[in-house]
Structure 1
Amino acid sequence: MTSTVTNAVLALALGLIFLSLAGQCYAGSSAALEVEFYKGKCGIFDVESIVAGLVKAKFFKGPTIAPKFMRRALLYTVESAGCDASLLLIGGSSERFAPPNLSVRGHEFIDEVKDAVESFCPGLVSCVDIIAIATRDAISLSGGGRYRVETGRRDGFNSLAENVDLPGPQIPVSESIAAFTRKGLNVTDMVYLLGGHTVGVAHCLFFQDRLYNFQNTGRPDPTMDLELVRSLRSRCPQESTGKNIVSLDQNFLSSFIVDNSFYKQILGKRAVLQIDQQLALDPSTRDIVTTMASGRASDFGNNFGEAMVKMGAIQVLAGTEGEIRKSCSFIN
């Protein structure tokens, strides 16, 4: 598992969700998404089965596919340019090459899935819907609930790096609630979606201040368990560049499983990111965290899936808007 973790450079960090919440989805689309939107539209072939087969094959080569897709889905859902796979577009000034997005990997696999789908169903399935379907399958394979994914989105034309704004993991809970509220998501949705940190990793640079000089005190964050401080310091030496990574769920038996372990860890002051720890301490979110931690592991998987569906339906391009890209990296 060590080599797998070492290669898992796609951190599912708080800022990824807030980059989404900065406003990716277009307003004005009244077309509703549908479960099994593509059913019967590709002859004898089933679109979701094609995607599922490729995701399953990739998953069994390495479980890091789940945090990769969860991060990508969050970026696509609410980033500045729209729920339209704009992050995939190649161009010197596109979102793909904005500094916060340079760590996003796996574009090649999305292209592979798109090519396979195109070979069976040319001009039918959008890149952003492929992301939605693949994310659900990756979450399910990782132990999460298998929710019914809604599809019918279309890909957009615009992608500008200047529209990417990535807040750090030090953002206060009150500001994160406000960001989610602006997108029609409530406090519970936020706690569920941040529970996506049940899988994935974070680079040391996102939390190194908590280990050595929290808020310029010259001391570690007092809300962090001292044993965790010592453990993380061994992975993130003060003189290092901060490029090392650690699991966001510090229960190493479940760091690649979509379950409620993350909530148990942050209640024990074992959160890696500052915002995650504050979820367990802030009066507006503490009770939700406690409920999730004390419930069944499957409860979180189901609730997380419902929150993903709700988020994925925010102001999408559908109907006659946008296009169905032939290649996810280029506008037709």
Structure 2
Amino acid sequence: MLESHQIAAQEEEMATPRQPILRPFILFILSRLVIESFASDPPLTLDYYSSSCPTVLEIVRKEMECAVLSDPRNAALAVRLHFHDCFVQGCDGSVLLDDTVTLKGEKTASPNVNSLLGYEIIDRIKNKLESECPGVVSCADILTIAARDAVILVGGPYWDVPLGRKDSKTASYDLANENIPTANEGLASIISKFLYQGLSVTDTVALSGAHTIGMARCQNYRARIYGSLGENSHLSSLKSTCTAVEGDDKIAPFDYVTPNVFDNSYYILLLKEDGLLNSDQELYSSLLGIQTKRLVRKYAEDSLAFFQQFSDSMVKMGNITNSDSFENGEVRKNCRFINT
């Protein structure tokens, strides 16, 4: 549960007297929603599976090692799955559910369709765990551990992962469309979506650093490369494969310098106006971004500061839980379907 002094700190972080990012009354409403959403969440623990499935971390790590060894881009896929899961109903595995006659999942929502991949990686991990510890480890916890291991495997920081989530029996196509930040969103809107999840401006900038790995589709960066780029030769060069009307599925790395290494290069590129997405570059270039610009510079200059904050923010995001899933949730046998 967020205490009043924590909410006050978020309010202070969200705005300065000179240039508020959000109006105070909007901030107040969002803060109250955050308090209510966290009020009854049970605690997660580091030793949750110590007796019931002591090999869970080893199994997830080995499967992620195989996945990243076969294709380094799989690291970014695992991280993105975790992000998109936590921003809808909390970190409850809802993003993994397939559509059925009675359930409309989140996979075809606009921010997810054609962008979220890697479901098969989670399937393989789940199958291994069901053989070792049937009916014990939730898909939501698998996503959380896999994201942490993915970051480590491409050079990023380690953090301890609190566990004990349950899998939801529901999904929300509508919330996936509403809650997940999009490629061409403005800074104020992006920050409001993070704040709604209980994540601060600092969390917003640090977690955006996950784009130091991974790829984006032309459909998502077209507006950026056909916008006002001045003398930016790199982004302009992408027009050869991503035309104004064709090439939606062509991909480009968020970080073209070290695309398969988790480092602070993402922020260095933002300083050079080389952010691939409009939403990335907004962190540094938006007129509203007094605090975000300062943080971008900080992480560009100090990779250790970025690593530490990213670790802290990932734990904070992973703790966005769904109180309903704790009461009515389950441990799915197959991450794509609720148990029958």
Q: Which TM bucket (shorter chain)?
A: 0.7 to 0.9
2:75 maps to 1:61: no
Q: Does the CA-based 8 Å contact 2:158-2:311 persist in structure 1?
A: yes
Query: Could you say what secondary structure the match of 1:150 adopts?
Result: coil
- The match for 1:88 among 86, 96, 100 is 96
Q: Does the CA-based 8 Å contact 1:95-1:101 persist in structure 2?
A: yes
The residue aligned with 1:211 is: 225
Q: Distance in 1 between matches of 2:137 and 2:239?
A: 46
- The match for 2:198 among 167, 184, 189 is 184
Q: Distance in 2 between matches of 1:294 and 1:120?
A: 45
Could you tell me how far 1:239 is from its partner in structure 2? Answer: 4.2
- The match for 1:249 among 244, 255, 263 is 255
Q: Does the CA-based 8 Å contact 2:232-2:274 persist in structure 1?
A: no
Deviates more, 1:118-127 or 1:272-281: 272-281
Amino acid at match of 1:128: A
Q: Structure 1: any 5+ residue segments left out of the alignment?
A: 1-21, 215-219
Could you tell me how far 1:27 is from its partner in structure 2? Answer: 5.4
Could you tell me how far 1:167 is from its partner in structure 2? Answer: 5.0
Render the CA deviation track for 1:198-244: whole Å, top value 9, x for unaligned.
Answer: 011111121212333x3xxxxx344xx52123322223233423221
Q: Does the CA-based 8 Å contact 2:123-2:334 persist in structure 1?
A: yes
The residue aligned with 2:331 is: 324
- The match for 1:135 among 118, 127, 147 is 147
Q: Distance in 2 between matches of 1:96 and 1:26?
A: 24
Q: Distance in 2 between matches of 1:57 and 1:119?
A: 18
Query: Could you say what secondary structure the match of 1:246 adopts?
Result: strand
Structure 1 length-normalised TM: 0.83
Change (3 A) 1:290 1:167: closer
Could you tell me how far 1:175 is from its partner in structure 2? Answer: 1.9
- The match for 1:272 among 266, 269, 276 is 276
Change (3 A) 1:91 1:230: closer
Amino acid at match of 1:49: E
2:312 maps to 1:306: yes
Could you tell me how far 1:320 is from its partner in structure 2? Answer: 4.2
Change (3 A) 1:188 1:249: same
Could you tell me how far 1:311 is from its partner in structure 2? Answer: 0.7
Q: Distance in 2 between matches of 1:41 and 1:239?
A: 54
Change (3 A) 1:184 1:68: same
The residue aligned with 1:202 is: 216
Could you tell me how far 1:85 is from its partner in structure 2? Answer: 0.8
The residue aligned with 1:262 is: 266
Could you tell me how far 1:186 is from its partner in structure 2? Answer: 0.9
Could you tell me how far 1:26 is from its partner in structure 2? Answer: 6.4
Render the CA deviation track for 1:114-135: whole Å, top value 9, x for unaligned.
Answer: 1110111111110000010111
Q: Does the CA-based 8 Å contact 1:63-1:142 persist in structure 2?
A: yes
- The match for 1:294 among 283, 301, 304 is 301
Render the CA deviation track for 1:246-304: whole Å, top value 9, x for unaligned.
Answer: 110121xx1111110100011011111112112112222111100100113x4323321
Q: Distance in 1 between matches of 2:216 and 2:97?
A: 25
Deviates more, 1:112-121 or 1:227-236: 227-236
Render the CA deviation track for 1:105-149: whole Å, top value 9, x for unaligned.
Answer: 222221111111011111111000001011111100111101101
Deviates more, 1:83-92 or 1:48-57: 83-92
The residue aligned with 1:101 is: 112
Q: Does the CA-based 8 Å contact 1:84-1:154 persist in structure 2?
A: yes
Change (3 A) 1:264 1:67: same
The residue aligned with 2:9 is: none
Q: Distance in 2 between matches of 1:314 and 1:189?
A: 13
Q: Which runs of 4+ in 1 moved over 4 A?
A: 25-28, 317-320
Q: Does the CA-based 8 Å contact 1:26-1:83 persist in structure 2?
A: no
The residue aligned with 1:155 is: 167
- Identical-residue share of aligned pairs (%): 33
Q: Distance in 1 between matches of 2:47 and 2:213?
A: 27
2:45 maps to 1:34: yes
Structure 2 length-normalised TM: 0.81
The residue aligned with 1:49 is: 58
Amino acid at match of 1:315: T
Q: Distance in 1 between matches of 2:125 and 2:225?
A: 41
